[in-house]
Amino acid sequence: MSDLSKILLTSFLTVVSGTILYVITRAFIELIIDFRKLTAEIIDTIVRYKFRIVNPGRRDDEQIREAQNKFNDLKTRLLSKGYAIPWYPVFAMLKLIIKRDELEKIVDNLNKLSANISITDPETIRQLNLPGSNIELANEIGRILDFRFDPYL
């Protein structure tokens, strides 16, 4: 092989391997960043609707419906983005994202918050087999996402 052939082959392999590495890295990094932005949006939503979490209201209250829609939207987006990340357990082990069972716990808690936020009667909550405290649900989400939910601030 001539020197020119070696130079051209080396250049070609460098460009191709760099492009492949860039595409793979970009795909993983974008998915992880989108996922982390969504977890930040969950925190923002819990803080925004803190008053409604601590003091649930009537079903006909517009802000209650808005909060329920937002919680439902967030849980479906979190679940779909979580399952879209290839090699999820590897990234969770590296602590770049939350573990899959924690993701499912957040989805479950968002679902329960959405249901509980409009119920004021403790007996109804018990009959529906829902947790007794919206604050507990928000605290659990906060523990997983590493933020402190303080209902009294």
The mean pLDDT of 116-133, rounded to a whole number, is: 65
Name the pTM for this structure. Answer: 0.78
Distances (CA, A) of 3 to 12, 14, 57: 14, 16, 78
pLDDT value at residue 2? 83
Q: Which two tokens stand for residue 125?
A: 């909550």
* pLDDT at site 149: 84
Cα–chain-centroid distance for residue 13?
39
Residues 85, 76: Cα–Cα separation, whole Å: 15
Is residue 89 within 8 A of residue 131, CB to CB? The reply is no
Task: Give per-residue pLDDT as tens, 56-103.
Answer: 766 567 888 888 999 999 999 999 999 999 889 999 999 999 999 999
Other beta carbons within 10 Å of 62:
8
Please tell me the predicted confidence (pLDDT) of residue 55: 73
